[in-house]
Amino acid sequence: MNFRSHKTKIVCTIGPSIDSPEMMRQMIAAGMDIARLNYSHGDFSYHAANILKLRKAAHEEGRRLTIMADLPGPKMRIGKLDRESYILRTGDELILTTESIIGNYQRVSVSFEPLPRVVKPGDKISLNDGIIQVEVAKVLGNDVVCLIKVGGEIRSNKGLNILDIDLGIDVFTSHDRECLKSALENGVDAVSQSFVNRAQDILALREEAARLGYNPFVIAKIERGEAVRGIDAICAVSDAIMIARGDLGVETDISRIALVQKHLTARANYFGVPVITATQMLESMVSNPLPTRAEVTDVANAILDGTDCVMLSEESAVGKNPVSAVQMLARIAEHTEAQRNDPEIGKPRKDFFRGDADHISDLITHNVSISVEKLHPAMVVANTVTGHTARMIARFKLPVWMLAVASEHSVCQNLQFSSGVFPYQVDDEPQDWDAFIRSVTCDMQLSSHLLILVKGPSNLNPIANHLIEIIDLSN
């Protein structure tokens, strides 16, 4: 087993900068644990080819790699302009129309056909990822007349966001269904749904996947205010969440984005749901060899708050320094994790006992975290059938690695999203756990002769008791 020097998992978006077999191998070697395929860009054949290359690269590097398909969702955009760009001036008027036109600085088309029906005077709309902000003045047929409150540059096909309005649309679109089918048929491990509003959006995706004969790991992208307000219900039906700070920073007051991020991370940790923190983590490294101090601080604070994964978008997809960006994330994570238990720096993990039907798991995993704190073992070994036990332990962000032993390939792939978890696949559940642990650790340079074993009911022994065992390898 080859443990990385850091426990925080790294997600990298695949794009032109790293879509060659050699670059994929370099990215995996540098620290990429999860590859993100952005189905908003590229056709199905491009993604299918990348899946094959990624699997081959991971095999050659001897590393486990999980592949995630990111579905587009109902992203609203403006249409084409009659020139490359315009500068919209504060105080001017801008008309958003559902008519199919080539736009200019006065009037642009929008892809969202219900727009005139769902907005009213006084509503706020942002364009180009929040750079331009307008306010609805009046609605005239297919036209929404707006006053430009904050001007800026506008280009063709840029995004449009309507703030704090229930749009009454299905998040899981017909195009998403096509993307999902192609992604699952080509063997992705996980699927993320964009612009989730409520728990039902995730259930709709799960139902379609089941109809197709699949049961993928499902991630809810949190980028709307309604999702923030309903995060507990979304966590209850999701396997993980992604804090997608791009659109989230537009849909919420940008001055509150740090607080919203901390809140979402804390709630996901409470439920034992892995967290991916995404968007602009090291954005300056798209063109520069080093990040800014603010970016490094941002990544470190996300790790201290309890994120399981940090994600690169443009940095890896189209950036000039993709391998260096991964290496930088790994270095930041290594240094930050080492100080996470320092009371002056880190954030102590709370008692996550909820007192609900899952209270046994809560108590067992909480006791594991206490045992690690007191005994300083070399490792935690967890027997897990579905991955649930491992994820519930991982929420405490232990200072030691957890070896998660599972017989299902999909369970091991999904555990890649959990910080500090090293999935270990076995053909059959060990009969003698003491002997098994000694065999897998015999060549390791362990920091302690103590290990903690966590196991409970399993397929082999469904009536077994929940157990925490201290194993002394010196005996």
* 243 and 180 in a common domain: yes
Structural domain includes residue 43: yes
Query: 23 falls in which pLDDT band (50, 70, 90)?
Result: very high
CA dihedral 284, 285, 290, 292 (to 10 degrees): 20
Residue 250 in tokens: 């537009």
Would 342 be classed as within a structural domain? no
Q: Is residue 288 part of a domain?
A: yes
| Same domain assignment for residues 254 and 380 | no
| CATH number of the structural domain spanning residue 37 | 3.20.20.60
The reported pLDDT for the residue numbered 353 is 64
Q: What is the pLDDT of residue 362?
A: 82
Q: How far apart are CA 334 and CA 399, in angstroms?
A: 11
Rounded Cα gap, residues 303 and 297, in angstroms: 10
* Domain presence at residue 348: no
Please tell me the distance from the alpha carbon of residue 183 to that of residue 72, in angstroms, as a whole number: 13
| Residue whose pair of structure tokens reads 């997809």 in the numeric block | 317
Q: How many CB atoms lie within 10 A of CB 432?
A: 9
CB 83 within 8 A of CB 114: no
Q: Are 417 and 67 in contact (CB under 8 A)?
A: no
- C-alpha–C-alpha distance, residues 281 and 164, integer Å: 26
Same domain as 184, residue 64:
yes
Q: Both 58 and 117 in a single domain?
A: no
The winner for highest mean pLDDT among 126-135, 393-402, 464-473 is 393-402
pTM: 0.91
Question: Binning pLDDT at 50, 70 and 90, where does residue 356 land?
Answer: low
Are the beta carbons of 141 and 128 closer than 8 angstroms?
A: no
Shared-domain flag, residues 65 and 108: no
CATH number at 430 reads 3.40.1380.20
Asked, for residue 344, whether it belongs to a domain, the answer is no
Percent of the chain's residues with pLDDT above 70:
97
pLDDT at 250: 85
pLDDT score, position 158: 86
- Residue range 91-102: mean pLDDT, rounded: 96
Residues 214 and 141 grouped into a single domain = no
Q: Which of 19-23, 116-120, 457-461 has the lowest mean pLDDT?
A: 457-461
Q: Let me know whether 135 and 203 are in one domain.
A: no
Per DSSP, helices labelled H in 339-387 are 359-375
Q: What is the largest CA-CA distance in the chain?
A: 82
Same domain membership, residue 146 and residue 22: no
Average pLDDT over residues 5-12: 97
Q: Which residue has the higher pLDDT, 77 or 463?
A: 77
Tell me, yes or no, whether 184 lies in a domain.
yes
Least confident of 365-369, 406-410, 420-424: 365-369
Last residue of a domain, one of 134, 162, 190: 162
276 to each of 113, 132, 187, 286, 336, how far by Cα in Å?
A: 32, 28, 21, 20, 17
SS3 percent helix, strand, coil of the chain, rounded to 5, is 35, 25, 40
Mean pLDDT score, 191-213? 96
Per-residue pLDDT tens over the stretch 285-321? 999 999 999 999 999 999 999 999 999 999 999 999 9
Query: Under a CB-based contact definition with an 8 Å cutoff, are residues 286 and 319 in contact?
Result: yes
In a domain, 110, yes or no: yes
Whether residues 194 and 301 share a domain: the answer is yes
- The chain-wide mean pLDDT, for the chain, equals 93
Query: Which pLDDT score, from 0 to 100, does residue 71 have?
Result: 97
331: left (phi over 0), alpha (psi -120 to 50) or beta: alpha
Residue range of the domain that includes 422: 359-472
In this structure, are 456 and 408 located in the same domain?
A: yes
> Could you tell me if residue 1 is inside a domain?
no
Which domain CATH number covers 105?
Answer: 2.40.33.10
Q: Which of 284, 303, 337 is the last residue of a domain?
A: 337
For residues 328 and 363, state if they share a domain: no
CB 419 within 8 A of CB 394: yes
User: How many domains, in total, are found in the chain?
Assistant: 3
Query: Are 270 and 293 contained in the same domain?
Result: yes
DSSP character at residue 103: B
Mean pLDDT of 444-451: 91
Tokens of 264: 């979402």
421 vs 157, higher pLDDT:
421
pLDDT of 100 > 80? The answer is: yes
Q: What is the pLDDT of residue 169?
A: 74
